Structure 1
Amino acid sequence: MSTFNFIASDTQLPEVDLTNVKRMTVKELKKLNPQARSPVPLDELDENLEVLYCESEEDMKGLTVSFCNNPPYNLDYHIKKKYVYWLRYDFTEKSTEQLMEYLQKNIKEIQQVEVWAITFGNKDDIYKVKDKRKIKLLDLTKGDLIELNSQGICIQISY
């Protein structure tokens, strides 16, 4: 079983990547950091091969919101909004603050956004949403967002 997080809206939302992961060629990486750790030694890789690189593990823990163009099977059972986005959110202080800022910046007066934590993999679990609540944006707390670490939650946030 796997739990995934989503943001859904009837209007488009901006995609963001607040990680510090960079896409570059092996040749560029060797110039930037010749001592970079890699599962395969850099000298054994094609210099034109594109790789992902970050300075530290902490750099990977930023918030990402990306359009869900390949949704899990039966996602539409729960989410009825027109636009659905993958939400990569690590439940750290940093990413919680980033998600809070993202929501405050992007929720408009006429809009309601849903933030979901849904478990897939067990056919019985997909049909269970244990907690669905409505919260005004002004009343939203970091604690509400951290609760998304549980399974089967939907928070409907409105302006």
Structure 2
Amino acid sequence: MSYCSFIATNYAMPEVETKAKTITVREAMELAIKPHELVPWEKMDPSAQIVVVENNEDLNELVIKKDAYYDVSEYTSYPFIYEVAFIYSELRAKQLLAYLEKNIREEQIVELWRVWIGHDENDLHIPYVNVNYEELSLNHLVQMYNPNHEKFKEQHCIVIERYNNQYDKEG
């Protein structure tokens, strides 16, 4: 089984690309990047790939990319799928909240999933909560991604709906 977090939605959304760059050891030496003190460049294969970030804050960052590594079609029928990857911290949860607040448009429905791929196909009873766009909060995301939170569930889905403002006033 593998963990997967993804967005499924009825409208296209922008991607959030990684700030980390993958380069070879040879390129790192040419760029005069300082190696880790325990592993000097000379002891590494010059063609080996390494990940370079400008600062440690960029490690485990929020990345949202079109499509998903795993087939998630059994979870949703929405046409736009985006894999969501990050290591949980409150900062990363705040970044995800800001991304959702900025990019969910009127009449859009967004499903934010956190699931284990490879569960028995007949055992897809994943708890979900419906949230109006205006009610979405950091607490929803903390509960979903922080394994130390008292309401954390191994698998979860948040369905976020944003309605036309005129509809909200009338209905």
Query: Structures share a fold, TM > 0.5?
Result: yes
Q: CA deviation at 1:84?
A: 0.9
Task: Tell me if structure 1 keeps the 8 A contact 2:25–2:45.
Answer: yes
| Identical counterparts, % of pairs | 25
Q: CA deviation at 1:34?
A: 2.7
Q: 1:37 to 1:110 in 2, by over 3 A?
A: farther
Task: Tell me if structure 1 keeps the 8 A contact 2:9–2:111.
Answer: yes
Alignment pair present for 1:136 and 2:132: yes
Gaps of 5+ in 1: none
- Identify which of 135, 139, 146 aligns with 2:142: 146
For residue 16 of structure 1, give the secondary structure of its aligned residue in structure 2: coil
What TM-score do the two structures reach when normalised by structure 1?
Answer: 0.81
Q: CA deviation at 1:124?
A: 5.7
Alignment pair present for 1:158 and 2:161: yes
Aligned to 2:15: 15
The alignment covers a number of residue pairs equal to 153
| Alpha-carbon displacement from aligned partner over 1:13-33 (angstroms, at most 9, x marks no partner) | 11102x541233323322342
Q: 1:126 to 1:119 in 2, by over 3 A?
A: farther
Task: Tell me if structure 2 keeps the 8 A contact 1:65–1:86.
Answer: yes
- Identify which of 96, 108, 111 aligns with 1:111: 108
- Supply the AA of the counterpart residue of 1:34: K
Aligned to 1:34: 34
Structure of larger gyration radius:
2
For residue 77 of structure 1, give the secondary structure of its aligned residue in structure 2: coil
The whole-number CA distance in structure 2 between the counterparts of 1:34 and 1:3 is 34
What TM-score do the two structures reach when normalised by structure 2?
Answer: 0.76
The whole-number CA distance in structure 2 between the counterparts of 1:3 and 1:105 is 26
Q: CA RMSD in A?
A: 2.5
Aligned to 1:53: 52
Q: 1:69 to 1:117 in 2, by over 3 A?
A: closer
Q: 1:112 to 1:37 in 2, by over 3 A?
A: farther
Q: CA deviation at 1:3?
A: 2.3
Task: Tell me if structure 1 keeps the 8 A contact 2:22–2:52.
Answer: yes
